Chains A and B, each alone.
Chain A
Amino acid sequence: MAEVLVAVEHAGETPKKVTLELLTLARSLGEPSAVVLGGPGDTEKLVDRLGEYGAVRVYAAEHEDLDGYLVAPKATVLAGLVRSINPAAVLLPSTQEGKEIAGRLAVKLDNGLLTDVVDLAADGTATQPVFAGSVIVTAKVTKGLPLVTVRPNSVTPSQAPVAPMVSTVEVELTDADRLVRVVERRAEQKGTRPELTEASVVVAGGRGVGSAENFALVEELADLLGGAVGASRAATDSGYYPHQFQVGQTGKTVSPQLYIALGISGAIQHRAGMQTSRTIVAVNKDAEAPIFELADFGVVGDLFTVVPQVVEEIRKRK
């Protein structure tokens, strides 16, 4: 069976959830091969988990420059690998870095690229939501192999354990790959919450939350549901919550099982980032707020009385 390359994105010693989703999708297209692009020793920590999700082969491309310089080295290594094994398809996560590597790969190989794909058929037909999910298109790469980035939360990851065969990839870089040096890396993610784009539950706060301190209430509900915290642009622009948690047209696109909007009116730009969520719940003082037009369950009321009651009720049931 033809190999399908999956570019592994990992946080520390574990592959990100999206990587497991890509391996699951790759199994429906051919034989999944995971490509680790990281620093020395990274593959060893990831290989068991990649095998659990069906990675028949793991390519270990390890070099300190893959971590020490931005994007370009990873694209160079991946392009070399694609040229040498000629896979049936190449899948990357539709994250900022995934899209950037894919963009460089497309130029290097003069190969078509499809981004933000939510499904890929064995014949290479990809499904993509465009215009914030209001239009669904099917598309195909017509030059080269299917090179696609797949949006997190598009596929339910399932296990299919194998013992992966690990192959070492020779990392050969040139000065052109080492143009952008990483000087410092700092994590700002708070606590143990799941990543916003990967979370199956997102609790988001908007202008109605009123202050940075009040976001503790949003966080409390998120933690109770094992979810991530999001914020509308009004909330991030007002400094209530850090910018990287913004959901919407100018922020992240999320598609969780459950999205709870607290004090968010639901401007079209916010809806752009969350309207493909499976279930949407909203609490807002304004009965006319557009968020209610898409909410499966809406409460017109003061979030500062409704949410504490929700928290108390969930605790009671646990």
Chain B
Amino acid sequence: MNIVVLVKQVPDSGSERRLRDDDYTVDRESASNIINEMDEYAIEEALRLREAYGGEVTILTMGPARSVESIRKALSMGPDKAVHVQDDALAGSCALGTSRALAAAIRTLSPDLVLAGAESTDGRVQAMPHMLAERLGFAALTGARKLTVQDGTLTVERQTEEGYEVVTAATPAVVSVWDTINEPRYPNFKGIMEAKKKPVTTLGLAELGLAAGEVGSAGATSTVLAARNRPERQGGTKITDEGAGGTKLVEFLASEKFV
């Protein structure tokens, strides 16, 4: 089974994140950039499927040149190779433009399965798996907490607002995973050394058969008009419980008309 895993480099959600002042895109220069956490679970799931059924695991990343750090890190977990979609004309792509470029890259790889994290910690749009499925004519099974494969049929147990549901589809498919699906492995020294030699193919717009006006800020279908920092929340009253802490808390709730 040939598997493509989508990996996105994002600013660390544990550090301060900001938008650029000029074009309101994510400021990737000032941030510490890491692999989107959910994507590590997608990589782990791909490696487990390769161990069970054979085949090849390809990392697919779209992003600026520095994303290669995350690509090497992803490869150090064990995937075979990577494709880096990179072109200056891709900067400022909206979700539609991103899905257009990723779909074109996926077509060059003809995978049985595309695995992705359920959401990225920067955009949190959660729509990419379905956008890709729509473009590629693949099935989309999202939010998996369990994935099983049998004779080309995928069965996914997925989290819903109300509980969970079990869904099935044939390959080719896009499956997105939550962090409940597995425990990602840590890269070992051998993995890190090998990752340096694994092939990383860079694809630009020409190789993908895309025109500059279809992607990037030129092809963006939405625009940010203004951005401002939300005023920092100020802490209010803090008391130390000396026997009546609970009562005082209720008095506060009553003063705010919650009880």
A interface list, Cβ under 8 A from B: 11, 70-72, 75, 95-96, 99-104, 106-108, 110-116, 125, 129-144, 176, 179-189, 195, 197, 201, 225, 243-244, 249-250, 253, 257-258, 267-269, 272, 275, 279-281, 283, 287, 292-302, 305-314, 317-318
Contact = CB atoms under 8 A, between A and B. Distances in A.
B131 A104 contact: yes
A183 B96 CA distance: 31
Contacts of B235: 292-296, 298
Contacts of B17: 131, 134-135
A11 B162 CA distance: 9
B65 interface: no
A115 B99 contact: no
B249 A281 contact: yes
B130 A135 contact: no
B95 to A, nearest CB: 6
Interface in B131-175: 131, 133-135, 137-143, 145, 155, 159-170, 173
A223 B107 CA distance: 51
A113 to B, nearest CB: 6
Interface stretch (B1-9, B74-82, B226-234): B226-234
Nearest to B229: A135
- 5 closest pairs, A vs B, by CB? A309-B246, A301-B241, A103-B127, A112-B221, A188-B163
Contacts of A184: 165-166
B95 A195 contact: no
Contacts, number: 280
Contacts of B155: 183
B140 A299 contact: no
A205 to B, nearest CB: 16
B223 interface: yes
A142 B253 CA distance: 44
Interface of B, secondary structure class, is mixed
A96 B130 CA distance: 11
Interface in B14-53: 14, 17-19, 24, 37-38
B178 A305 contact: no
Contacts of B129: 100
Given A100-B126, A188-B163, A314-B250, A135 B18 contact: yes
Contacts of A182: 165-167
B196 interface: no
A142 B246 contact: no
B237 interface: yes
A75 B131 CA distance: 11
B121 to A, nearest CB: 6
Interface of B: 13-14, 17-19, 24, 37-38, 94-96, 99, 121-122, 124-131, 133-135, 137-143, 145, 155, 159-170, 173, 178-180, 220-230, 233, 235-241, 244-250, 252-254, 256, 258-259
A223 B158 CA distance: 27
Contacts of A275: 233
A136 B167 contact: no
Q: Which of B122, B129, B248, B254 has the most CB of A within 10 A?
A: B248
28 contacts: A11-B162, A99-B126, A103-B127, A103-B128, A104-B127, A131-B18, A140-B222, A140-B225, A142-B220, A142-B221, A181-B167, A183-B167, A185-B165, A186-B163, A187-B162, A189-B163, A250-B38, A257-B258, A269-B13, A297-B237, A299-B248, A299-B249, A306-B249, A308-B246, A309-B244, A313-B247, A314-B253, A318-B259
B222 A287 contact: no
Contact of A143 (B162, B170, B221, B227): B221
Contacts of A100: 126-127, 129-130, 140, 142
B174 to A, nearest CB: 10
A141 B253 contact: no
